[in-house]
Amino acid sequence: MSANENSFFLSGDHLSPAARAKKERLEQDPAARADIMTYLDGMEVISSDICQKVMTEVESYDPAVYTAKEVTAALNRERLGIEDFKALLSPAAAPFLEDMAQKARLETTKHFGNTVYLFTPLYIANYCENYCVYCGFNCYNKIHRKKLSLEEIEHEMAVIAQSGMEEILLLTGESRAQSDIAYIGEACKLARRYFRLVGLEIYPVNTDEYRYLHTCGADYVTVFQETYDKTVYESLHLAGHKRVWPYRFDAQERALRGGMRGVAFSALFGLSDFRKDALASALHAYFIQRKYPHAEISLSCPRLRPIVNNDRISPRDVGEAELCQILAAYRLFLPFAGITVSSRESAAFRNGIVKIAATKISAGVSTGIGDHESKYNEQKASDDAGDEQFEICDNRSLSAMYREMADEGLQPVLNDYLYM
């Protein structure tokens, strides 16, 4: 383990002697960790060739071999192939960022007009059984854990709905014990009373469980692979169900088989080589869309943010210019895909990128548990609110964001779905 990786780890002073000893074994002895490719009991294995297709392309990708000539050729094509996309992600494309942005803007306008979709996330629990060393929710972190009751969930939803928001994304920590499928399903049923569109960002589940959650009201599922680099993945996910790399990879396909209308893909940029992770995320979406042409496909593009008890976490080599390059390349390669930029980024960056490539942004965001009353109504936060997963950068309210988007000549959209 490198010194850089070692800086992620927390002291563990609050742990019992047995828990501290287990944590130290996981950190210091790779043999103490489970194999990341071995499924655990209860995990569904599906037959699919998508993973092999994605990883074959990623493992053969050398960003350094591409030249300005290949970047220019890609920019002159009406539709990009995989090799063109690889060129636009390469360092050789950096001097062409303005050209990429202009062409991406034309593509975005062609397919989405000047609309920007707004949604808000609602964290309903922060209990987690995984040891992911970069996450504020990890099971060894000393934070205030909280799981909202159904009454508290409905109260949070009512507060959010009063702002005019019509799309919500429900999130939990990855704990089946504390946030089981029945609990998440009831939260979906409540969400359907208040919102027109309901998304889920929860631990990966089996096809029949996704089918059940869809019947409860969920429309789409977001799953972050975090990094597609198996070596880095192994070093950062030391324990828990999330350690099983292929089960996580196949989550979107299981969700579509379970009837979900849409799925979203992402890596967490800054954990590993961001160019390869961006390539893998887009190809994952690309091959899924070819296999399931009815599915609504979208990409997210989060970078690392500081977390509770650790302010040393920051993106590795991923500045705003690099992020803009990724997003412009995404738009040119997947012109019909939705692209979401989270509140991890600054208001200035988000205001700019929605004019180029992004189609969806979050507003009125809190990554804590049970604190929307204080955030939306300017009341004192409850001492019982659960701790946040990470620090956000853009704190604007829905009304402020809506107003700024409109002032820029954009059309903020809260919902465009009709249920028959």
When pLDDT is cut at 50, 70 and 90, the band that residue 265 belongs to is very high
CATH code at position 334 = 3.20.20.70
When pLDDT is cut at 50, 70 and 90, the band that residue 306 belongs to is low
Assess if residue 98 is contained within a domain.
Answer: no
When pLDDT is cut at 50, 70 and 90, the band that residue 378 belongs to is low
Q: Which residue has the tokens 């009709």?
A: 418
Assess if residue 364 is contained within a domain.
Answer: yes
Q: What is the pLDDT of residues 238-250, one digit of tens each?
A: 999 999 999 999 9
pLDDT at 394: 84
Q: Which residue has the tokens 């009353």?
A: 373
Query: Looking at residue 148, what DSSP letter applies?
Result: -
What is the rounded CA–CA span in Å between residue 137 and residue 266? 19
Assess if residue 322 is contained within a domain.
Answer: yes
Assess if residue 418 is contained within a domain.
Answer: no
Strand pairing partners for 303? 269
Q: Which residue has the tokens 């050789």?
A: 92
Strand pairing partners for 121? 169
Separation of first and last alpha carbons in the chain: 55
pLDDT at 220: 97
Tokens of 293: 């042409």
Assess if residue 295 is contained within a domain.
Answer: yes
Tokens of 320: 């705003």
Residue 200: count of CB within 10 angstroms of its CB: 28
pLDDT at 7: 38
pLDDT at 285: 98
Q: What are phi and psi of 113, to 5 degrees?
A: 65, -140
DSSP symbols for 36-47: TTSPPTT-----
Percent of the chain with pLDDT over 70: 88
Instruction: Kindly report the length of the chain.
Output: 420
What is the rounded CA–CA span in Å between residue 273 and residue 275? 6
Strand pairing partners for 200? 170, 221
Assess if residue 92 is contained within a domain.
Answer: no
Residue 54: pLDDT over 60: yes
Q: Comparing 382 with 255, which gets the higher pLDDT?
A: 255
When pLDDT is cut at 50, 70 and 90, the band that residue 6 belongs to is very low
Q: Which residues contact 163 (CB under 8 A, 6 or more apart)?
A: 364, 376, 397, 398, 399
Q: Where are the alpha helices (DSSP H) in 195-236?
A: 207-216, 230-236
Residue 239: count of CB within 10 angstroms of its CB: 20
Tell me the mean pLDDT in the region 311-318.
63
Round the average pLDDT of the chain to a whole number and report it.
Answer: 89
Q: What is the pLDDT of residues 386-419, one digit of tens each?
A: 555 556 788 888 888 889 989 989 999 987 666 6
Q: Are 66 and 325 in contact (CB under 8 A)?
A: no
Q: What is the Cβ-side half-sphere exposure of residue 339, based on CA atoms within 13 angstroms? A: 31
Q: What is the pLDDT of residues 190-232, one digit of tens each?
A: 999 999 999 999 999 999 999 999 999 999 999 999 999 999 9
Assess if residue 362 is contained within a domain.
Answer: yes
- Local structure of 255: helix, strand or coil: helix
* DSSP strands (E only) in 215-258: 220-226, 237-239
Q: What is the pLDDT of residues 69-83, one digit of tens each?
A: 999 999 999 999 999
Q: What is the pLDDT of residues 110-159, one digit of tens each?
A: 999 999 999 999 999 999 999 998 888 888 888 888 999 999 999 999 99
When pLDDT is cut at 50, 70 and 90, the band that residue 368 belongs to is confident
pLDDT at 10: 46
Number of domains in the chain: 1
Q: Are 126 and 389 in contact (CB under 8 A)?
A: yes
Q: Are 100 and 88 in contact (CB under 8 A)?
A: yes
Task: Name the helix (H) or strand (E) containing 172.
Answer: strand 167-172
Q: Is 151 exposed, middle or buried (0-12, 13-18, 19+ CB in 10 A)?
A: exposed
Residue 323: count of CB within 10 angstroms of its CB: 21
CA distances to 19, 239, 310 from 143, rounded to whole Å, are 16, 18, 12
Q: Are 372 and 288 in contact (CB under 8 A)?
A: no
Strand pairing partners for 117? 360, 413
Residue 322: pLDDT over 60: yes
This prediction's pTM: 0.91
Assess if residue 419 is contained within a domain.
Answer: no
Q: Where are the alpha helices (DSSP H) in 9-149?
A: 17-28, 50-59, 68-75, 82-89, 97-112
Q: Kindly report which listed range (214-228, 279-293, 341-355) carries the lowest average pLDDT score.
A: 341-355
Give the domain range for residue 404.
3-63+109-413
Q: Letter for the amino acid at 63?
A: P
Query: Looking at residue 96, what DSSP letter applies?
Result: G
Residue 235: pLDDT over 50: yes
Q: Which residues contact 400 (CB under 8 A, 6 or more apart)?
A: none
CA distances to 57, 60, 62 from 83, rounded to whole Å, are 10, 11, 11
